[in-house]
Every structure is written in C-alpha cells, then in structure tokens.
Structure 1
Amino acid sequence: MGLHETPLMFDFELVSSEDLTYMPMSVRFNLDRFGLRISLAQWQLLPHADRVLLARFPVDDDVAIEPNFDHALFEMMRTHANVEPEWFTPEAEPAWRDAGTVPEALARHSALAGLATPSAERWGQLDPFKRYILAKLTRKSEVSHDFLPAMREFGLAE
C-alpha cells in the first residue's frame, strides 16, 4: 500500500491537527508501531511539508508494508532538528489488538464521559486503527478532549 493522497485524519482531529501543529493519530500510530518517540517540540521543528508527508503514511499494522516511515522520520529529524528519534520497545500485545475484549481503560473512560461501554462485539467490529486510537486516548487517568468526539465519530456514542 502506498502513501495516502492527503494526510490521514479523522474529523475529531481537525480542530487540533488540521494545520499539523499537533501530531495526528496516524503519525502516533506509526511512531508506536516502529518504537519511535519524538516530542511535540521536535515535531513542530519539521517543515509543514514533511509533517504532511509523515501523515500520509499507511496505518496498516504490518511493518513490512511501509518500512520507509522510520527512515523518512530519521532523515527529517537529522536535517531539521539535528536530533534522532528515541527508540523504545513497542508493547508486544497492546490491548487494542485484542478484538474480543474491551480494554478496561476504555470502559473507565466511557463511564467518566457518561457513556455506555461498547460491547465486545462492537469493539471487535472496529478496524484496528480505530481501536488503537481509542486505546491511545484512554491511556491517561483524565478523559481526553478528543475521547467523546472520537467515540461519536466511530459510532460508539450518540
């Protein structure tokens, strides 16, 4: 699969990420799948055109499909920020990969937001990238401002 024609972003991201000042979830996904970390300040050092390119990479959970994300990121960071991304070991079995079990953090955040927890069946019907997003948005103890809009956009809240 090649690059998307435009940056891959959901409607709930447009307010905070439309101009790519903030990292869209597609970039976060690829950073996590490759085990790479950059700060928001480092992201913002990249020229807009480079941020657009990084946001166009596929979000398929298969490192063999598009191995150039990490290479492109390293080159961009060296060129524009004079640093390299930090490496970390990605979680072997993150909760979002289990299509049969709603993560505890998602259930907790749903309750905090006044929503019913999605059924395991509904959770399993989401594509893996959407499950990743919801897991990412629920990793902290407080409810993210993007949680409810994402739940609505993914058909899990009214």
Structure 2
Amino acid sequence: MGLNEAPLLFQFEVASSENLAFIPMAVRFNLDRFGLRISLAQWQLLPYEDRRLLARFPVDDDTQIEPNFDHALFEMLRTHANVEPEWFSPDESPAWRDAATVPEGVARQAALAGLAAPAAAQWAQLAPFQRYVLAKLSRKPEANHDFVPAMREFGLAAPR
C-alpha cells in the first residue's frame, strides 16, 4: 500500500490542521500503532513538506503494510530537530478495535456533549480508523472540542 495523494484530514480537522500546525489524526494513529510519541513542539520543528508527507501515510492497523512511517519520522526529527521520538509499548487490544462494544470513554464524551452514545450497531459500522478517532478524542475526562464535529462527520449526531 502506498502513500495517499494528499494528507488525510477529516473535515473537523481542516480548520486546525490544514496548515499542519497541529498533529492530524492520521499521524496520531501511526504514532500510536508504532509506539512513538512526539510533542507538538517537535512536530512543529519539522518543515511543512515533511509534516505533509507523514500525514499521507496509510491508516491501516497492520504495521507490515507500510513499515516506513517510523523510519521516516526518525530521520526527519534527527535532521530538523536533532531529537528522536519517545518509544512506548502500543496497546495490544485497544478498545476501538472491538467493533461490538462502544468504549466507556466514547459514551462519557457523548454524555459531556449532550449527545447519545453511538449504538452498538452504529459503532460496528464505523471504519476502524473512525473508531480510533472517537476513542482518541475521548481519552481524557473533560470535553474535547473536536468530539461533536467528529460525531457529526461520522453520521452519529445530527448536523447543526
């Protein structure tokens, strides 16, 4: 599987990530699947074209399909920031992979937003990357400003 033609951005990300000043969900997904952590400051030290390239990597859960994300990130950070990403052990069974059960964090985030949590059938119909995004946006106990726009974009909440 090759790189996408353009950076993968959801509509709810365009305003904050169009210039790639913030780490897009596609890059966050790949950081998580490879067990890498970088700070926003490190991300912003990378030239725009490098950030754009990292945002073009596929968002497939199989690290064997596109194993070069981690290598590219390491080289870019060494070259432009003289740092390396921090390693961590990726979760072997993250909640978003379970298509049958809506994670507690997603239900809690929906309640904070005054929305109904996705029904199990709705959750199961989401693409794995969409489930990842909602789970990622729901990991903290306070309301996330991107959660409601993501729910709307994924057809889980009525448009305004």
Percent sequence identity is 75
AA aligned opposite 2:70: D
Cross-structure match for 1:146: 146
Cross-structure match for 1:19: 19
Q: Are 2:64 and 1:67 equivalent residues in the alignment?
A: no
Quick check: 106-115 or 126-135, which moved more? 106-115
Residue by residue, what CA displacement relative to the aligned partner does 1:97-123 show, whole Å, maximum 9, x if unpaired? Answer: 000000011111111111111111110
AA aligned opposite 1:108: R
Q: Are 2:80 and 1:83 equivalent residues in the alignment?
A: no
Q: Are 2:96 and 1:104 equivalent residues in the alignment?
A: no
Cα displacement (A) at 1:125: 0.5
Question: Which ranges of structure 1 fall in alignment gaps of 5 or more residues?
Answer: none
State the distance in 2 between where 1:16 and 1:141 align: 22
Cross-structure match for 2:116: 116
Quick check: 104-113 or 48-57, which moved more? 104-113
User: What secondary structure, in the 3-state scheme, does the structure 1 residue paired with 2:101 have?
Assistant: coil
AA aligned opposite 1:78: R
User: What secondary structure, in the 3-state scheme, does the structure 1 residue paired with 2:93 have?
Assistant: coil
Cross-structure match for 2:41: 41
- TM-score of the pair, normalised by structure 2: 0.98
State the distance in 2 between where 1:117 and 1:127 align: 17
Cross-structure match for 1:127: 127
Query: Cα RMSD over matched residues?
Result: 0.4
Question: Which ranges of structure 2 fall in alignment gaps of 5 or more residues?
Answer: none
AA aligned opposite 2:102: V
AA aligned opposite 1:79: T
Cα displacement (A) at 1:92: 1.1
State the distance in 2 between where 1:150 and 1:61 align: 20
- TM-score of the pair, normalised by structure 1: 0.99
Cα displacement (A) at 1:143: 1.1
Structure 1 runs (4+) greater than 2 angstroms displaced: none
AA aligned opposite 1:154: F
User: What secondary structure, in the 3-state scheme, does the structure 2 residue paired with 1:76 have?
Assistant: helix
